[in-house]
Amino acid sequence: MSTKSTYSRIARRETHSPRSVLAIVLAVILILAAAYAVIEIILAIAGQKPLLVTPGNAAKGLVGVNTLPVWILIVAGIILALIGLWLIIASFTSGRRARHLIHTDRAVTVIDNEVIASALARHASYAANTDPDNTRVSVTHNRAVVEMTPATGRDVDKGRVQDAVDEQLAAYDVSPKLRSKIDIKKAGKVGA
């Protein structure tokens, strides 16, 4: 196995998450539904009162569903189809972890989005000459959003902050690429 394929496999494993939680939740729901059905059948066989409904009444209710108004059946069908479509799409796609890759030749370098956000907040606050506590950065899969609250009476040069953030993102050379958005609040903060 080549080193490049090993690195790409490691990179994929570190940046994508499996759908294990979804599979476990669905399995638990199905197990609980099957356990309930078994309990109702056992209670019906033993001649006891049902928990909710007897299996015979449930079957009659299911057969008699065609007596409901058509619009209720259509809405229920659409809702069930959308849930089914969502489950199919979720089963074939993998989740993303809050991580990015840095391009290196010798190893797989993974960086967490919180680390990128912290570094961008520091550089943006220095460029704006504001307190780092008044700078918030959120990093998603393809975007870094910088929100700044300047000190009251001070103007922040948005272009300077944009240049500083873009320069840092270019220096990091992360994959997938990040685009930046700068949001400077209109109302300042006293003592910032």
Instruction: Report residue 62 as tokens.
Output: 């299911």
Instruction: Write down the pLDDT at residue 83.
Output: 93
Say if residue 66's pLDDT is above 80.
yes
Rounded to whole angstroms, the Cα distance separating 146 from 181 reads: 6
The whole-number pLDDT of residue 31 equals: 96
Per-residue model confidence (pLDDT) at position 19: 76
Give the per-residue pLDDT at 1. Answer: 56
**Which of 96-100, 147-151, 188-192 reaches the highest mean pLDDT?**
147-151
Whether the predicted pLDDT of 192 surpasses 70: no
pLDDT at 81 over 70: yes
| 160's tokens | 């300077």
Instruction: Output Rg (C-alpha) for the chain, integer angstroms.
Output: 27
Dmax over CA atoms of the chain, in Å, equals 80
Is residue 143 a contact partner of residue 165, using CB atoms and an 8 Å limit?
no
pLDDT at 29: 93
pLDDT at 161: 87
Q: Is the pLDDT of residue 61 over 80?
A: yes
Domains parsed from the chain with CATH numbers: 19-93 (no CATH), 99-184 (3.30.300)
Task: Tell me what pLDDT residue 2 has.
Answer: 67
Report the pLDDT averaged over residues 47-66: 86
- Identify the bridge partners of residue 182 per DSSP, sorted by sequence position: 146
Q: What was the pLDDT predicted at 159?
A: 87
Give residues with Cβ within 8 angstroms of 5, minimum separation 6. Answer: none
pLDDT computed for residue 189 by the predictor = 66
* Pairwise pLDDT comparison (135 vs 7), residue with the higher score: 135
Question: pLDDT of 21-51, one tens digit each?
Answer: 888 888 999 999 999 999 999 998 998 998 8
User: Chain-wide mean pLDDT for the chain?
Assistant: 84
Q: What is the mean pLDDT of residues 15-19?
A: 73
Please work out, in degrees rounded to the nearest 5, the angle formed at the alpha carbon of residue 5 by the alpha carbons of 2 and 8.
150
